[in-house]
Each structure stands twice: as structure tokens, then as C-alpha cells.
Amino acid sequence: MSYVICEYEKVKETFPEFKNAMENLSTELKTRCAADWKPRNFGGLAPTAKQFGETTVLPALFRDDTMTAANAGNMTTWEQWLTTSGHRTIMSGSGTGGIIKKDYKVGLAGIAFLDKAIRISEIKMQISDKKLPRINIEECLAYNKPAIVFEQGYILDEETGFDLYAYVTTKGPQRIKLLGLQMNRIPNKLQITNTGATL
């Protein structure tokens, strides 16, 4: 797994390859959706009833550290409260067993920490049965709103597991945002989130 650590606001400026990585991830995700969701085709940001659409990654597809957030366990914003210190799961798919719900696929390009105080020293992920290596993020402490940007993105497929683990150093609030894009098979199913929820 290759990645770059940089300021979230300066991703495009300091990591120009991010544009190519996002384009490749988008193309791969659209191709997979077109194959899996036939006969639907890509409808962009304003799909019709017979098309699949694209959005930013919605927090409502994930559960937070407590695993009991409002809206039947789904996150409504990227902000969560880290309840205890030590190694723990801080985010997982909101479907039963920590899966990404049916009719959604996510292209994961990176992870951003949107607070000045970072309460985590290390992260690792599991996508389906694939365990990704640990990332020591202590270097991130020197940045304002650091981001970990993957040189090659990952696809979180519908009805497959996703877990983000972390070593939490202190309890408290933490905003952790997944960077990338999301494809939605049925446009009106985007009502899984409330108005005002972070998009």
C-alpha cells in the first residue's frame, strides 16, 4: 500500500497525482457498477430512474466508534466521539456485520483528519477479507488537518465488510472523513441521510 501524507487543503497542490488517482478510481468504479447493475448506466450527479448516480462519500453508510450513533447506528456527520483509548474499531460499514449496504459502492481515495488535535497514533483497515498494513500517523501531528492519500484507491463494494481500526491515544471528539466518491444504484435511496448531514 503506497500513500502520501499532506495537508488536506493542499492535496491538489502538493500531490498532483491525486487527480489521476481519482480519475482512475472513478473509471474503475463506474465500470464495476455498470457491470453489476445492468441495465442501468451512469447518470452523473442527476441520474434518472434507470441510471445509477454519483455523490461524495456519505457518512450515513458508516457507523462510528460507539457503533450506536443516531439514525439506527449510522453516522450523520464525520464527527464522532472516541469513547476509550487503546486499539479499537473506529468506523465500519453501517450494514449488519459492518458491511457496506446493498446498492452502494464507495471509491476510497484517502482519509482526512479535520481536527487540530489528533487523538490517534496509528490506523489500519480491512476491506472484505483483505487486511491492509498499519499506517503510523504520528507524523500527521505536525500538520493542520492532515490527509492520508492513497496512490491507488480501494473499492468498498456493496455487501462487503469495511473496518477502520485505530490506536486511540485519548478520548474525545474526532472528525475523520473518508475521501473519494460514492455510486448509488437507486437515486431516491439517498434519503438514507437527513438534510444538514455532511455530504
Q: So what's the pLDDT on residue 55?
A: 92
Beta strand 130-131 pairing with 120-127: antiparallel
The DSSP call for residue 66 is T
Please indicate, yes or no, if residue 199 is contained in any of the structural domains.
no
Q: How confident is the model at residue 121 (pLDDT cuts 50, 70, 90)?
A: very high
Q: What is the DSSP string of 5-18?
A: EEEGGGHHHH-THH
Question: Domain tally for the chain?
Answer: 1
Please indicate, yes or no, if residue 69 is contained in any of the structural domains.
yes
Please indicate, yes or no, if residue 198 is contained in any of the structural domains.
no
Q: So what's the pLDDT on residue 199?
A: 41
Please indicate, yes or no, if residue 123 is contained in any of the structural domains.
yes
Indicate if the pLDDT at residue 4 is higher than 70: yes
Q: How distant is the alpha carbon of residue 18 from its chain centre?
A: 16
Q: What is the mean pLDDT of residues 9-14?
A: 73
Buried b (16+ CB within 10 A) or exposed e, 30-64: beebeeebeebebbeeebeeebbbbeebbbbbbbb
Q: What is the mean pLDDT of residues 112-131?
A: 92
Quote the mean pLDDT of the chain: 86
pTM above 0.85, yes or no: yes
Please indicate, yes or no, if residue 158 is contained in any of the structural domains.
yes
Per-residue model confidence as pLDDT tens digits over 38-68: 999 999 888 988 899 999 999 999 998 876 5
Q: Return the C-alpha cell found at 56.
A: 461524495
Per-residue model confidence as pLDDT tens digits over 102-111: 999 999 999 9
Please indicate, yes or no, if residue 129 is contained in any of the structural domains.
yes
Query: Residue 65 burial (CB < 10 Å; 0-12/13-18/19+)?
Result: buried
Please indicate, yes or no, if residue 108 is contained in any of the structural domains.
yes
Indicate if the pLDDT at residue 71 is higher than 70: no
The fraction of the chain above a pLDDT of 70, given in percent, is 88
Please indicate, yes or no, if residue 66 is contained in any of the structural domains.
yes
The DSSP call for residue 67 is S
Q: What is the mean pLDDT of residues 126-132?
A: 94
Do residues 156 and 30 touch, judged by C-beta distance below 8 A?
no
Cα angle 18-22-27, degrees, rounded to a multiple of 5: 150
Which structural domain range is residue 67 located in?
3-191
Distance CA 27, CA 152 (A): 13
